[in-house]
Amino acid sequence: MPRERRASVAVPGAGAVRAIATPAARPRWTCVYAPGAGSHIDDPFGVYLAATLPARGVTMLRFEFPYMAAGRRAPDRPAVLEATWRVMLTRASADGQVVAAGRSMGGRIASQVLASGARADALALFAYPLHPPGKPGQARDGHLASVPVPMLFCSGTRDTFASPDELRALVRRLPRRARLHLLEGADHGFSVQKSTGRTREDVWAEAAGAMMDWLTSLS
């Protein structure tokens, strides 16, 4: 694991949260990453990104939301989640190009703050929760057309929060550049069945590689 810099970061009206920066020697991008609901600063996918991306020129800044810092199970109100993202993006804004990235809820909240004017250069959405499982009528896509930066959607083909066909249709509707990368056989948590011969770490590696290829195409 590359060297880490840990910090306690104040979120107005919500207390402090933990953040961990893992710098690249010669950064081309800074990736600000938030986990999904139910996860925290040691979200396994975030830890994997922090262990692998700095060697590829990406500084990592990962964080958790106030409810996790306080030991609560229920997520914070949307306003608090969004405020946390804005604080973290501000901390990264002086480090060159910034990609906001998140898994599930972490990515959804990032997309909301970028749609409402927060600054970043790109947005990577891992396992984007397009709708609750089994409820396609409750789509969470109305704001995505207002995101002014390139977007990557990276999801498993067995994800019950968004099917491959739903994601393909979504990407076609977006007016800005958007790319879709499907992780064959992966579910919402990026787990795969043993019969595939792959492990969850194989899926993490594919997802990280897809993001690196995409960021290279934007440079």
Contact yes or no for 103/126 (Cβ under 8 A): yes
Strand order in the sheet with 29-34: 5-11, 15-22, 58-63, 29-34, 97-103, 122-126, 151-156, 178-183
> Cα 159 from chain centroid?
16
**What is the SS3 assignment for 80?**
helix
Written as six digits, the tokens of 132 are 């609750």
pTM assigned to the model: 0.96
State how many domains the chain has: 1
Q: What is the CATH number of the domain that holds 57?
A: 3.40.50.1820
Q: What is the pLDDT of residues 132-170, one digit of tens each?
A: 999 999 999 999 999 999 999 999 999 999 999 999 999
CA 201 from chain centre, in angstroms, equals: 17
| C-alpha span between 42 and 40 (Å, rounded) | 5
Both structure tokens of 130: 């397009």
Asked whether the beta carbons of 105 and 39 are under 8 A apart, the reply is no
- Of residues 173 and 95, which shows the higher confidence score? 173
Residue 14 domain boundaries: 5-218
pLDDT at position 177: 85
